[in-house]
Amino acid sequence: MEPFSIKTYHLVKSEDLNHHGTLYAGRGAEWFVEAGFIAAANLTKPENVLCLNIHGMVFKSPVRKGEVIIYEGKIILTGNSRLIAFVQALRGEQTILRGFITFIHADEQGKPKPHGIKIQAVSEQDIALQAEASKL
């Protein structure tokens, strides 16, 4: 299966801001993980998805109150029980945040469980993201 993107939209409100009047990193991280989780949950049961590691979530630009940002997530690489998501946040066409998240497909006891999902990158962009994710 080819990687496919899911999108979530967020309006940045007063309660999402830090003391500098920009998006609080904790809220940005919450939305970041949410986008990755939704991408993983589109491929398997949500109750089997556990977040293991956030890799290199980097803000490239501040976000201000009133802006609508789009979080785009996709599973870019899989292993036996792992699912690695690439997530980016966009303001229009501008990337303002990016990184990867490793999720584990787990059983009811939280132990890793094979998922049988195979991701085949086809586009140049996805091939490059898959190569980046394989180094995590």
Which is it for strands 49-59 and 82-91: parallel, antiparallel or unpaired? unpaired
In a domain, 12, yes or no: yes
In a domain, 27, yes or no: yes
Beta strands in the chain (DSSP E): 6-11, 49-59, 68-78, 82-91, 94-105
In a domain, 45, yes or no: yes
Which CATH number is 113's domain given? 3.10.129.10
Instruction: Determine how many CB atoms are found less than 10 A away from the CB of residue 2.
Output: 10
- The tens digit of pLDDT for each residue in 1-56 reads 888 899 999 999 999 999 999 999 999 999 999 999 999 999 999 999 999 999 98
In a domain, 64, yes or no: yes
C-alpha count within 13 angstroms, C-beta hemisphere, residue 10: 25
The total of structural domains in the chain comes to 1
Gap between the terminal Cα atoms of the chain: 21
Write out the residue range of the structural domain in which residue 47 sits. 6-134
SS3 15: helix
User: What pLDDT is stored for residue 1 in this prediction?
Assistant: 86
In a domain, 1, yes or no: no
- The tens digit of pLDDT for each residue in 86-135 reads 999 999 999 999 999 999 999 999 999 999 999 999 999 999 999 999 99
In a domain, 125, yes or no: yes
Distance CA 124, CA 101 (A): 21
